[in-house]
């Protein structure tokens, strides 16, 4: 959940097909104003209307057609005025932004005049929360004939406080740039349970179950940013039996390797779902684990999900030949950046003597060339060279690695085109996890029909097998899209 | 067991942690039992999953023809793969020879490591001035292919 102050700045933004002023989390330095002139001295009134705007440019008004949070100035003067508005809960889709238009008029006018329009970037949240906004307007009433709305500086500090939205899930590196943040959506996490007569096979902590237990395994890798000081993500797990039916009324406990969880346990509802909220104030990688102890019928089971908490949003330097960002922190002057693309894999190795920033296993990292992102991946190998100089080398693959962790118990396709199979695999096993999105699937794969049966495999292996049947290659690009061409 | 202690009989050149080939859920696809049924054994390490995230690794070894053997082998593999591989390259100053595949003890106070590792490769550089022995250690059991590569590499050096 993110609670913010959104400033009516004098900066510009072009987003979702609309160019306007930026409703930003920080105030601009140069002030702006809009005024109206009227011949008769009456009260000067200001209010706002609010919309959500989709990536396609469609606006849906959240207010109800007339300005809300109105303030009024009936004598000459200027200064900050405030009013409140109860924002209603509003679902947000991928790429949605919030548009706020300020209107003003004189009290004896019937028609409101639009002063200006402000818009946020795409919000990385799933819903705008029901909460009371406080809107601060800097108004000026001159000689009882003209009214002015000022904004855009610390003096003319017009703003909205308590602007709040809930972040349910992000993809791993989504927070690093607004366009990817739009992928942020619900990820159902499944704890499947299968009957097993003898769950204990090995030592402590090791138990046996069937592979089917992971059939619906959701390897969610959301990313959140604590740029606001503290942030949180809601995580939902689903407990199912071996037939896929929800287990109701079961207590699931949660633990995390980073940040804190509230609650630390929850009881499954009618859908077998339990939820907890992860809160983190520092960057890191949180492995959130849910455990159900089992009962006489079903064995103990667990599942994990990884939440990547970035320090900040990457802000690459366009003047730099190469810019390296790890978990939202800039790595100073990397010594070597080696990018290797070979077949399905894109691997990037970075050497640096920058020991000031934390470089840890599992952190997201991005490579920019002259400000343009050329790679995003996750650190898998870290080498610390001790002598003669202390140098850290880290290496990782693109997000193709996430396909490796998606198990598929059984897949059976009879006399279907390769393209149909690929799309089915992606929609059934990959899409719900929101790790990578479908990119380009070569049309020629629609001309090849085959029968494929596979058990106990992974999304990566199955997609690779089908791709090879059509002489195609599988890769995941910097935008985390699965391409088979 | 040979003991390497940093600063005493070895110097650490580099230390690597590699989580690419990790699996805390091992699915071992074995052969067939006497009834002709396919054998599959799956084992988990919940603690490792909680530390590193849930990682699945599917391995096929058709030589296992009973469920018990399959499960035992799966547990063995789990032990080997449940955590990231640690690799250490040291410059040994001791005269004591070590062999590829041998287990050695390695202690480093600077890296805060004290454990048993397997020798992955040994490189001997002899000259009039110095005798240099570079030993590569790993926390993971090397497979046969790695042994062969190391042996071939050493044979080529001789």
DSSP result, A210-238: -GGGGTT------EEE-TTS-EEEEEEEE
Q: Does the beta carbon of A209 lie under 8 angstroms from any beta carbon of chain B?
A: yes
Residues of B in contact with A381 (CB under 8 A): 16-20
pLDDT of residue B145: 54
Nearest to B49 among A302, A362, A404 (CB): A302
- Quick one: pLDDT band at residue A432, thresholds 50, 70, 90? low
Which is nearest to B82 in space by CA: B41, B44, B116, B117? B44
Residue pair A347/A364 in contact (Cβ under 8 Å)? The answer is no
pLDDT of residue A456: 75
pLDDT of residue B147: 53
Nearest to B54 among A205, A303, A457 (CB): A303
Cβ contact A458–B17 (<8 Å): no
Q: Does the beta carbon of B12 lie under 8 angstroms from any beta carbon of chain A?
A: yes
The position carrying tokens 């690779």 is: A464
Residue B158 pLDDT more than 70?
Answer: no
Residue pair A118/A100 in contact (Cβ under 8 Å)? The answer is yes
Task: Give the residue from B6, B15, B17, B51 with the most A CB atoms within 10 Å of its CB, the best one to mutate.
Answer: B17
- How far off is chain B from A468, nearest CA to CA, in Å? 20
The least confident of A171-175, A310-314, B85-89 is A171-175
- How far off is chain B from A112, nearest CA to CA, in Å? 55
Residue A186 pLDDT more than 50?
Answer: no
| Gap between the Cα atoms of A167 and A14, Å rounded | 23
Residue A224 pLDDT more than 80?
Answer: no
Q: What is the mean pLDDT of residues B102-116?
A: 88
The least confident of A157-171, A414-428, B110-124 is A157-171
Give the mean pLDDT of chain B: 84
pLDDT of residue A433: 58
pLDDT above 70 covers a percentage of chain A that reads 83
Cβ contact A385–B14 (<8 Å): yes
Residues of A in contact with B83 (CB under 8 A): none
Q: Where are the beta strands (DSSP E) in A120-230?
A: 127-128, 131-142, 146-151, 159-166, 188-192, 223-225
Residue pair A232/A224 in contact (Cβ under 8 Å)? The answer is yes
Residue B18 pLDDT more than 60?
Answer: yes
Half-sphere exposure of A306 (CA within 13 A, CB side): 25
Give per-residue pLDDT as tens, A252-307.
Answer: 899 999 889 999 999 988 988 888 888 888 888 888 888 888 887 777 788 777 77
| Gap between the Cα atoms of A316 and A331, Å rounded | 11
Q: Does the beta carbon of B127 lie under 8 angstroms from any beta carbon of chain A?
A: no
Give the mean pLDDT of chain A: 80
Complex confidence, ipTM: 0.82
- How far off is chain A from B10, nearest CA to CA, in Å? 13
Residue A404 pLDDT more than 90?
Answer: no
- Quick one: pLDDT band at residue A247, thresholds 50, 70, 90? confident
Q: Does the beta carbon of B27 lie under 8 angstroms from any beta carbon of chain A?
A: yes
pLDDT above 90 covers a percentage of chain B that reads 20
Of A137 and A172, the structure prediction assigns the larger pLDDT to: A137
Cβ contact B58–A461 (<8 Å): yes
- Other Cβ atoms less than 10 A from the Cβ of A229: the count is 6
- How far off is chain A from B88, nearest CA to CA, in Å? 9
pLDDT of residue B152: 59
Residue A188 pLDDT more than 90?
Answer: no
pLDDT of residue A10: 93
Residue pair A312/A227 in contact (Cβ under 8 Å)? The answer is yes
| Gap between the Cα atoms of A170 and A174, Å rounded | 6
Residue A174 pLDDT more than 60?
Answer: no
Q: Which of residues 33-52 of B touch A (CB under 8 A)?
A: 40-47, 49-52
Task: Give the residue from A199, A209, A264, A304 with the most B CB atoms within 10 Å of its CB, the best one to mutate.
Answer: A304
Residue pair A45/A33 in contact (Cβ under 8 Å)? The answer is no
Residue pair A73/A106 in contact (Cβ under 8 Å)? The answer is no
Residue B126 pLDDT more than 80?
Answer: no
**Shortest CA distance from A305: residue in chain B:** B53
Whether the pTM exceeds 0.80: the reply is no
Q: What is the mean pLDDT of residues B9-31?
A: 89
pLDDT of residue A230: 54
Residue pair A328/A314 in contact (Cβ under 8 Å)? The answer is yes
Residues of B in contact with A383 (CB under 8 A): 14-16
Spell A81-97 as b/e; 16+ CB within 10 A means b. bebebebeebebeebbb
Residue pair A189/A302 in contact (Cβ under 8 Å)? The answer is no
pLDDT of residue A176: 20
Residues of B in contact with A257 (CB under 8 A): 50-51
Residue A316 pLDDT more than 80?
Answer: yes
Q: Per DSSP, what are the bridge partners of residue A114?
A: A103
Which is nearest to A41 in space by CA: A102, A113, A115, A109? A109
The position carrying tokens 């020629």 is: A444
- Quick one: pLDDT band at residue B111, thresholds 50, 70, 90? confident
The position carrying tokens 């639009």 is: A114
Residue A216 pLDDT more than 60?
Answer: no
Give per-residue pLDDT as tens, A79-110.
Answer: 999 999 999 989 888 788 999 999 999 888 88
Count of pairs with CB atoms under 8 A, one residue in A, one in B: 112
Cβ contact A202–B43 (<8 Å): yes
- How far off is chain A from B26, nearest CA to CA, in Å? 9
Nearest to B20 among A219, A380, A384 (CB): A380
- Residue A289 CB-density burial (10 A; 0-12 exposed, 13-18 middle, 19+ buried): buried
**Shortest CA distance from B41: residue in chain A:** A210
Nearest to B42 among A208, A255, A380 (CB): A208
Q: How many residues does chain A have?
A: 485
- Which range of A104-108, A137-141, A434-438 scores highest in mean pLDDT? It is A137-141
The position carrying tokens 């100035």 is: A73
Residues of B in contact with A403 (CB under 8 A): none
Nearest to A387 among B13, B45, B46 (CB): B13
Give per-residue pLDDT as tens, B62-103.
Answer: 899 998 898 888 888 998 899 999 999 999 876 777 888 888
The position carrying tokens 């619906």 is: A216
Coil, strand or helix at A27: coil
Q: Does the beta carbon of B20 lie under 8 angstroms from any beta carbon of chain A?
A: yes
Q: What is the mean pLDDT of residues A105-128?
A: 88
């Amino acid at each position: 959940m993110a609670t913010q102050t959104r400033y009516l700045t004098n900066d510009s933004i072009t987003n979702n097909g609309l160019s306007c002023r930026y409703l930003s989390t920080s105030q601009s330095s140069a002030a702006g104003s809009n005024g109206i002139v009227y011949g008769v001295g009456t009260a000067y009134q200001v209010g706002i209307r609010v919309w959500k705007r989709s990536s396609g440019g469609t606006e849906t008004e959240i207010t109800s057609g007339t300005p809300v949070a109105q303030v009024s100035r009936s004598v000459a003067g200027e200064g900050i005025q405030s009013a409140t508005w109860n924002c209603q809960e509003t679902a947000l889709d991928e790429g949605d932004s919030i548009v706020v238009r300020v209107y003003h008029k004189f009290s004896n006018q019937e028609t409101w005049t639009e002063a200006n329009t402000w818009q946020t970037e795409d919000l990385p949240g799933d819903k705008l929360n029901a909460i009371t906004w406080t809107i601060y307007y800097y108004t000026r009433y001159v000689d009882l004939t003209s009214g002015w709305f000022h904004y855009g500086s610390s003096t003319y500090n017009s703003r909205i406080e308590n602007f709040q939205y809930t972040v349910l899930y992000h993809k791993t590196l989504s927070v690093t740039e607004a366009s990817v943040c739009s992928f942020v959506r619900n990820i159902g996490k499944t704890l499947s349970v299968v009957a097993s007569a003898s769950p204990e096979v090995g030592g402590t902590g090791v138990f046996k179950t069937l592979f089917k237990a992971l059939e619906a395994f959701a390897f969610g890798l959301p990313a959140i940013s604590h740029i606001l000081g503290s942030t949180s993500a809601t995580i939902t797990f689903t407990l199912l039996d071996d037939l896929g039916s929800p287990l109701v009324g079961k207590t699931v406990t949660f633990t995390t390797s980073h940040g804190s969880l509230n609650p630390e346990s929850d009881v499954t509802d009618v859908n077998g779902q339990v939820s907890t909220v992860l809160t983190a104030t520092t960057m890191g990688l949180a492995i959130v684990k849910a455990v159900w102890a089992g009962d006489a019928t079903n064995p103990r089971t667990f599942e994990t999900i990884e939440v990547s908490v970035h320090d900040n949003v990457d802000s690459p330097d366009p003047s730099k030949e190469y810019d390296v960002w790890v978990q939202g922190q800039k790595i100073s002057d990397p010594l070597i950046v080696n990018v290797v693309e070979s077949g399905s894999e894109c691997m990037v190795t970075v050497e640096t003597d920058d020991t000031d920033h934390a470089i840890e296993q599992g952190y997201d990292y991005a490579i920019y060339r002259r400000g343009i992102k050329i790679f995003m991946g996750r650190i898998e190998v870290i080498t610390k060279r001790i002598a003669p100089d202390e140098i850290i080398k880290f290496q990782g693959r693109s997000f193709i690695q996430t396909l490796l962790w998606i198990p598929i118990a059984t897949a059976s396709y009879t006399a279907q085109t390769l393209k149909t199979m690929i799309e089915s695999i992606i929609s059934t096993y990959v899409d719900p996890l929101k790790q990578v999105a479908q990119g380009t699937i070569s049309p020629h794969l629609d001309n090849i029909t085959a029968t494929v049966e596979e058990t106990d495999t992974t999304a990566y292996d199955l997609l690779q097998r089908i791709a090879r049947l059509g002489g195609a290659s599988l890769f995941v690009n910097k935008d985390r899209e699965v391409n088979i061409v | 067991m040979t003991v390497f202690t940093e600063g005493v009989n070895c110097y650490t050149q580099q230390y690597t942690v590699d989580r690419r080939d990790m699996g805390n859920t091992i699915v071992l696809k074995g052969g067939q039992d006497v009834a002709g049924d396919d054998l599959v054994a799956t084992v988990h390490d919940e603690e490792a999953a909680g530390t590193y995230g849930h990682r699945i690794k599917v391995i096929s070894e058709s030589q296992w023809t009973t469920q018990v053997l399959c499960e035992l082998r799966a547990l063995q593999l789990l032990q080997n793969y449940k955590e990231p591989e640690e690799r250490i390259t040291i410059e040994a100053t001791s005269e004591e020879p070590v062999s590829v595949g041998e287990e050695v003890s390695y202690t480093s106070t600077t890296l805060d490591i004290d454990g048993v590792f397997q020798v992955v490769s040994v490189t001997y550089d002899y000259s009039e001035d110095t005798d240099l022995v570079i030993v590569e250690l790993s926390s993971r059991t090397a497979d046969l292919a790695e042994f062969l590569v190391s042996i071939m590499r050493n044979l080529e050096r001789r």
